[in-house]
């Protein structure tokens, strides 16, 4: 519960801070102006998203964590990078000034906090002199900070890559006991990122700026050292390569290209992987998804091979990265374009044929309009135990939702959507905890069939919607991030994350599916209190009544 509250609080703070900063950005001079030489946006965009990420991540850490030396070092480094990043976002100060800020952020964690690399890959238990270990750690940290900073070239790219790496670090920390600090810092940063990515998916409403991207690089590097050097000595030291993923090899290749061309290696150019994918002909979103896929593959390999031999891990990392850049080089030399591949044309024609069948679109929507409200109502009745605090919150939300239904509440649409989302989270959270009391083979089978049917209906409803509705509910790069999260949860289901009776894998998968279906229905019925709204109201009433023990159910379906 503490971890769930932590990530929820970080997300809510980030969501609240970013709109405020966006309004202040023009007055503060923190606007990212278009630049045809190396930028892909055509309108000025606020560079203040990092404030939401950092404040969202640090406030829960300060309030919920014991403030010891590592935490102080982390907070100090984060604030220093925010200050220097904000100065650079206001007026570009040059790379040397950035380095000063990065050195100031990293020095305390190494020389005061004692957090640096002491065990190196390939050297077994050999101990290097302290000055070598500390010097290497400083260079490595600054390298990671700049790797994430320079990957921030497309909407959602740097944030998505950092989110995937932080998720893997949190997972590995959870698998090994005694890593509460690593989990806490990782989940807080994830919460801040989730709030930011709500505004940063293409086309972005806000950029994270240098403060945000450097904070993410600092956090990922800090946690990688904390986890592999201090918290869990059994982890392979080379696994950091896979967990950091694509940004590291990308910045190294870019630096090599700059050095070979005789230009300043620190001056920003347009030869990062995302620039080159755009040059080949991939769209903005397609380029982001390709990089997400490669990065996710590397990070997942890092989780699977966390205790493997250093040579195996390093060899796999080099092979995957080499193959990716080899194909990219071949595509550039052959002037290949995505539209030249016949399979794309065949797939497009097949989808056009299916699209003419209106039954798929209308039938899938009608199914969702019945299935999702019925799902919420059924689970609210089915759950055996509802805590009193859930009942209190549900009662308040039910009153607000009822007032909205009669047009009394002034913020009708936005608050209604949020209340329905909270209702979905409540029901799925409580049902996930309660699963041990009702699971049996036939119930599991029906559950799987239901979720598959909902996923199929979501796909058909979105893919074969009329033009206007398709624009209202279009798939973004953040949606692919969530898809990777679902797939990851399923892949690691054999060793699930458990908090008592709470299975995180099941919670993530089910929550993502039902929230997507709910969002689709909300887009369809935003103008009135529809069946989903009334179902959410009824569900909240049931949770409230049962939370106060006014009505008691006791359903047990275990064989």
Average pLDDT (444-455) is: 81
At 97, phi and psi to the nearest 5? -65, -40
Determine the 3-state secondary structure of 175 from DSSP.
helix
DSSP letter for 109, please.
I
Query: Other CB atoms closer than 10 Å to residue 304's CB: what's the count?
Result: 13
Q: Is 378 left (phi over 0), alpha (psi -120 to 50) or beta?
A: alpha
Taking the C-alpha atoms of residue 440 and residue 446, their distance in angstroms, rounded to an integer, is 10
Stretch among 403-412, 417-426, 509-518 having the lowest mean pLDDT: 403-412
Taking the C-alpha atoms of residue 361 and residue 435, their distance in angstroms, rounded to an integer, is 33
How deeply is 169 buried, as exposed, middle or buried, from its count of CB atoms within 10 A (0-12, 13-18, 19+)? buried
- Please give the pLDDT value at position 145: 94
Average pLDDT (440-456) is: 77
Q: Where are the alpha helices (DSSP H) in 29-68?
A: 49-64
C-alpha dihedral over 76, 79, 81, 87, to 10 degrees? -140
- Say if strands 45-46 and 498-499 run parallel, antiparallel, or are unpaired: unpaired
- Please give the pLDDT value at position 423: 87
Q: How many residues does the chain have?
A: 559
Token couple for 318 = 């080099």
Stretch among 160-169, 416-425, 482-491 having the lowest mean pLDDT: 482-491
Instruction: Label residue 412 by pLDDT band (50, 70, 90).
Output: very low
Residue ranges covered by each domain of the chain: 2-340, 349-547
Most confident of 23-37, 347-361, 400-414: 23-37
**pLDDT above 70: residue 527:** no
- Summary mean pLDDT of the chain: 79
197 Cβ neighbours under 8 A, 6+ residues apart: 156, 159, 160, 163, 478, 481
Stretch among 47-51, 52-56, 433-437 having the lowest mean pLDDT: 433-437
- Please give the pLDDT value at position 485: 60
Global pTM reads 0.72
Most confident of 14-23, 278-287, 367-376: 367-376
| Span 123-181, pLDDT tens digits | 776 778 889 999 999 999 999 999 998 888 787 788 889 998 998 898 888 877 778 89
Stretch among 159-168, 335-344, 513-522, 533-542 having the lowest mean pLDDT: 335-344
Instruction: Label residue 504 by pLDDT band (50, 70, 90).
Output: low
26 versus 556: the higher-pLDDT residue is: 26
- Please give the pLDDT value at position 191: 87
Q: Where are the alpha helices (DSSP H) in 473-530?
A: 477-491, 504-524
DSSP letter for 338, please.
G
| Span 192-238, pLDDT tens digits | 888 888 777 666 778 888 888 999 999 999 999 999 888 777 888 89
- Please give the pLDDT value at position 196: 85
| Span 243-267, pLDDT tens digits | 998 999 999 888 888 878 777 776 7
How deeply is 235 buried, as exposed, middle or buried, from its count of CB atoms within 10 A (0-12, 13-18, 19+)? buried
Is-contact 81 208, C-beta < 8 A? no
- Please give the pLDDT value at position 356: 54
């Amino acid at each position: 519960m503490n971890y769930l509250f932590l990530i929820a609080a970080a997300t809510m703070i980030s969501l609240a801070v970013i709109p405020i900063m966006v309004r202040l950005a023009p007055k503060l001079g923190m606007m990212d102006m278009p630049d045809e030489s190396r930028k892909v946006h055509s309108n000025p965009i606020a560079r203040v998203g990092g404030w939401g990420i950092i404040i969202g991540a640090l406030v829960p850490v300060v309030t919920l964590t014991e403030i010891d030396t590592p935490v102080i070092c982390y907070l100090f480094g984060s604030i220093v990078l925010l200050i220097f990043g904000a100065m650079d976002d206001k007026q570009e100060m040059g790379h040397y000034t950035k380095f000063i800020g990065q050195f100031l952020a990293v020095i305390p964690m190494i020389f005061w906090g004692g957090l640096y690399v002491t065990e190196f890959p390939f050297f077994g238990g050999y101990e290097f002199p302290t000055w070598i270990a500390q010097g290497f750690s400083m260079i490595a940290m600054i390298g990671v900070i700049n790797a994430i900073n320079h990957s921030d070239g497309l909407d959602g790219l740097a944030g998505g890559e950092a989110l995937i790496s932080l998720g893997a670090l949190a997972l590995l920390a959870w698998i090994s006991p005694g890593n509460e600090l690593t989990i806490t810092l990782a989940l807080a940063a994830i919460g801040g990122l989730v709030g930011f990515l709500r505004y940063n998916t293409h086309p972005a409403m806000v950029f994270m700026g240098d403060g945000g991207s450097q904070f993410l690089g600092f956090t990922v590097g800090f946690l990688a050292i904390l986890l592999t050097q201090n918290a869990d000595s059994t982890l392979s030291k080379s696994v950091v390569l896979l967990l950091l993923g694509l940004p590291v090899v990308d910045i190294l290749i870019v630096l090599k290209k700059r050095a070979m061309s005789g230009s300043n290696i620190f001056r920003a150019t347009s030869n990062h992987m995302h620039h080159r994918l755009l040059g080949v002909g991939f769209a903005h979103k397609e380029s982001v998804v390709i990089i997400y896929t490669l990065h996710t593959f590397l990070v997942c390999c890092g989780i699977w091979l966390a205790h493997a031999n250093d040579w195996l891990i390093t060899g796999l990392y080099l092979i995957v990265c080499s193959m990716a850049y080899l194909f990219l080089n071949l595509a550039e030399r052959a002037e290949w374009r995505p539209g030249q591949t016949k399979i794309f044309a065949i797939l497009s024609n097949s989808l056009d044929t299916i699209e003419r069948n209106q039954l798929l679109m209308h039938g899938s929507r009608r199914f969702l309009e019945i299935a999702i409200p019925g799902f919420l109502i059924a689970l609210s009745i089915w759950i055996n135990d509802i805590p009193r605090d859930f009942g209190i919150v549900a009662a308040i939300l039910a009153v607000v939702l009822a007032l909205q239904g009669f047009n009394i509440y002034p913020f009708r649409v936005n608050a209604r959507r949020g209340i329905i989302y909270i209702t979905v989270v409540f029901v799925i959270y409580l049902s996930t905890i309660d699963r041990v009391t009702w699971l049996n083979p036939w119930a599991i089978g029906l559950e799987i069939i239901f979720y598959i049917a909902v996923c199929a209906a979501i796909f058909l409803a979105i893919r074969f919607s009329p033009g206007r509705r398709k624009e209202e509910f279009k798939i973004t790069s953040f949606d692919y991030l969530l898809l990777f999260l679902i797939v990851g949860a399923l892949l690691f289901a054999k060793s699930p994350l458990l908090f008592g009776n709470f299975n995180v894998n099941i919670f993530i998968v089910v929550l993502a599916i039902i929230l997507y279906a709910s969002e689709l229905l909300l887009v369809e019925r935003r103008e009135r209190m529809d069946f989903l709204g009334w179902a959410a109201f009824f569900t909240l009433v049931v949770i409230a009544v049962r939370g106060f023990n006014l009505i008691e159910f006791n359903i047990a379906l275990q064989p």
